[in-house]
Amino acid sequence: MCRVYNSAPLPFMGQKRRFVRDFREVLKRFDDVTTIVDLFGGSGLLAHVAKRERPEARVIYNDYDYFCKRIEHVATTNRILARLRELLRDVPEMKRLPPELRREVLAVIAGYEREGYVDYPTLGSSLLFSGKWANDYEELASHTMYNCVKKSDYKVDGYLDGLEIVHRDYREIFAEHKDDARTLFLIDPPYLSTEVGAYKCYWKLRDYLDVLSLLVGTKYIYFTSEKSQIIELCEWLTENPMRANPFAGAEMRTQLNNINYDRLFTDIMLVKA
């Protein structure tokens, strides 16, 4: 019997594990669906649950973050973590690493990188303070390190079984399936103003609004956050229909400001005489 995961087997920021129960419940409403397309696959958790709940359906997982590569190399990740446990055996849990041990940890990881693949997000979850993430060696080495090393190996058996895994622009995949009334789209776009995996850009309001066009005339399960205020925006536009851009023709001036050493934002002044 295939194992059913209620959370992604490897660390992933933004996975929908708290929605799994609700997701299973609403999937039952789509008994006529034959294809389920996870446009912004992330950790693959939604696609995994969908396939376990609807094994007869075709489930397409758009893995733009290449999470499957992290799954593929989990044996190497477990070997690295085993070495780190031994190195840090005398460091109390959640305590900061002394400089000499920090250097040894980085040396171990650098050695594995020379040999091949290193799963930095997973290693970062065992070495960095809660909420901190690393995507490469330089980013990991720039952080203060702590002994948060996982006590046991990661298990990923069967997690991606049965899924059709692709790595493509979500718009291309949507175009291929949008006219099929028996297709259900899972739409969990990245957070506003954040890096977007393989898209290598910042997800801005325009990108978010582009996704809304996918909801018209399709079956979907859509995820967002109150921080995006996208629902409030749509409600306002319904109540206040606008025929033209009120900023058209306005002069724009900008100033770059900072909150602290690593948080920058742009203030905007618009002028129309």
Q: Residue range 173-195: average pLDDT?
A: 85
Work out whether strand 251-260 and strand 263-271 pair parallel, antiparallel, or are unpaired.
Answer: antiparallel
According to DSSP, the residues that pair with 183 across neighbouring strands are: 35
Q: Please give the Cα distance from 126 to 128 (Å, whole number).
A: 6
Q: Residue range 79-98: average pLDDT?
A: 96
Residues 6+ apart with CB under 8 A from 246: none
Residue 192's pLDDT band, with cuts at 50, 70 and 90, is low
H/E segment holding residue 94: none
Q: Are 121 and 70 in contact (CB under 8 A)?
A: yes
Q: Residue range 83-96: average pLDDT?
A: 96
What's the confidence (pLDDT) of residue 199? 45
Dig out the tokens for 161 from the structure.
């079984």
Which DSSP category does 44 fall into? S
- DSSP notation for 135-167: SSHHHHHTS--B----SS----TTTTTT-EEE-
Beta strand residue intervals within the chain, DSSP E: 35-38, 58-62, 164-166, 183-187, 219-222, 251-260, 263-271
Q: What are the C-alpha distances in Å from 118 to residues 65, 87, 174?
A: 15, 18, 32
Which DSSP category does 19 fall into? G
Q: Residue range 49-75: average pLDDT?
A: 96
pLDDT tens digit sequence for 110-136: 999 998 899 999 999 999 988 788 999
Residues 6+ apart with CB under 8 A from 44: 8, 38, 61, 63, 67, 68, 159, 160, 163
Dig out the tokens for 219 from the structure.
């079956």
Mean pLDDT is lowest, of 49-63, 120-134, 254-268, for: 254-268
Percent of the residues in the chain that have a pLDDT greater than 70, as a whole number: 90
Nearest to 187 by CA among 160, 223, 219: 223
Q: How many CA atoms lie within 13 A of 72 on its CB side?
A: 7
Q: How much is the mean pLDDT over the chain?
A: 88
H/E segment holding residue 118: none
CA triple 63-68-74, angle to 5 deg: 155
pLDDT of 229 over the 90 cut: no
**Greatest C-alpha distance within the chain:** 70
pLDDT of 142 over the 70 cut: yes
Looking at per-residue pLDDT, the higher value among 208 and 147 belongs to 147
Looking at per-residue pLDDT, the higher value among 170 and 270 belongs to 170
What's the confidence (pLDDT) of residue 156? 97
Residue 263's pLDDT band, with cuts at 50, 70 and 90, is low
